[in-house]
Amino acid sequence: MNTINSLSLKGRKLLAVFAHPDDESFICGGTLAKYAAEGAEVTVVSATRGEMGRRMGNPPYLNRETIAAAREVELRQACNHLGVHELKFLDIRDKTVEFIDEEQLIGRIEAMMHEIQPDVVLTFHEKLGGHPDHCAIGKATTAAFRRYGQGALYFVSFGDMMQQPGKYGYTPDAIVQVDVQEHLKAKLAAFRAHRCQSELMEWVWQRDDRALRNLGRYEYFIRGNESQTGKDSLF
Ligand SMILES: [Zn+2]
């Protein structure tokens, strides 16, 4: 069966809540592209516009005044490559997610969940997020999800780290492995759309066939609740 064209997920919804433009593409772009291609309505939320990022292009062509708008444009282009249906910003200043009023943030995300009614929510693990903004948006989204109380919650992970879940205190049952092989071209296009961030990654700009070899076939997710899904699917 050609799952790409089957639109088997028509009417289903996925909400991904992240901190910065590029989180969605670099970490789980293959999964977003896969489910969008299968018919799911994918919404990406970026808490910030990444305006405090250290990478300003190579050679640098952005500054602190221009970077927010540039990264927003890049994120919109990346979302187009991935087939994302809608993009929202929380308009939080980059590198300050952990310092804003948490209760208010949880309330905003919960309201979004009631509006969108997602079947699947993706966000960062509050301890394994790897960056204070990631952990903070993951913690708030997890709290919002618990209040919302419907659907399935998953935490993203980086690269192949969850091939060995025991290192992080998880059993293999807690991990979902999504095969994104058919969607790596879309993921690579999304990497390239985030030009000011990916220009310093030489492999991204190699010939397509070479560049694609740097992207893993699987993306891994940690179950955030007791949802009944298989080992290879978030839905
Ligand atoms: Zn980030």
Give me the residue spans of the domains in the chain: 13-223
Report how far ligand 1's centroid is from the alpha carbon of 133 (Å): 7
pLDDT at 5: 56
Residue 39 buriedness (CB in 10 A; 0-12 / 13-18 / 19+): middle
pLDDT band at 3, cuts 50/70/90?
very low
pTM: 0.96
Percent of the chain with pLDDT over 90: 95
Instruction: Name the pLDDT band for 227 (thresholds 50, 70, 90).
Output: confident
Angle at 143 between CA 138 and CA 146, to 5 degrees: 125
* The predicted structure's pLDDT at residue 1: 45
Give the Å distance between the CA of 19 and the centre of ligand 1.
Answer: 5
**Would the pLDDT of 2 be above 60?**
no
CA of 20 from ligand 1 middle (Å) equals 5
How many angstroms separate the alpha carbon of residue 125 from the centre of ligand 1?
13
The alpha carbon of 212 and the centre of ligand 1 are apart by a number of angstroms equal to 22
Q: What's the CA-to-centroid distance between 127 and ligand 1, angstroms?
A: 14
72 pLDDT above the threshold of 60: yes
CATH 3.40.50.10320 fits 13-223, yes or no: yes
What b/e string do you get for 56-68 counting C-beta neighbours within 10 Å, with b at 16 or more? bbeeeebeeeebb
47, 68, 228: which is closest to 144 by C-alpha? 47
Check residue 178 and give its pLDDT: 98
Which of 43-52, 173-182, 220-229 bottoms out in mean pLDDT, i.e. has the lowest? Answer: 220-229
Asked whether the predicted pLDDT for residue 144 surpasses 80, the reply is yes
Cα–Cα–Cα angle for 134, 123, 171, rounded to 5 degrees: 105
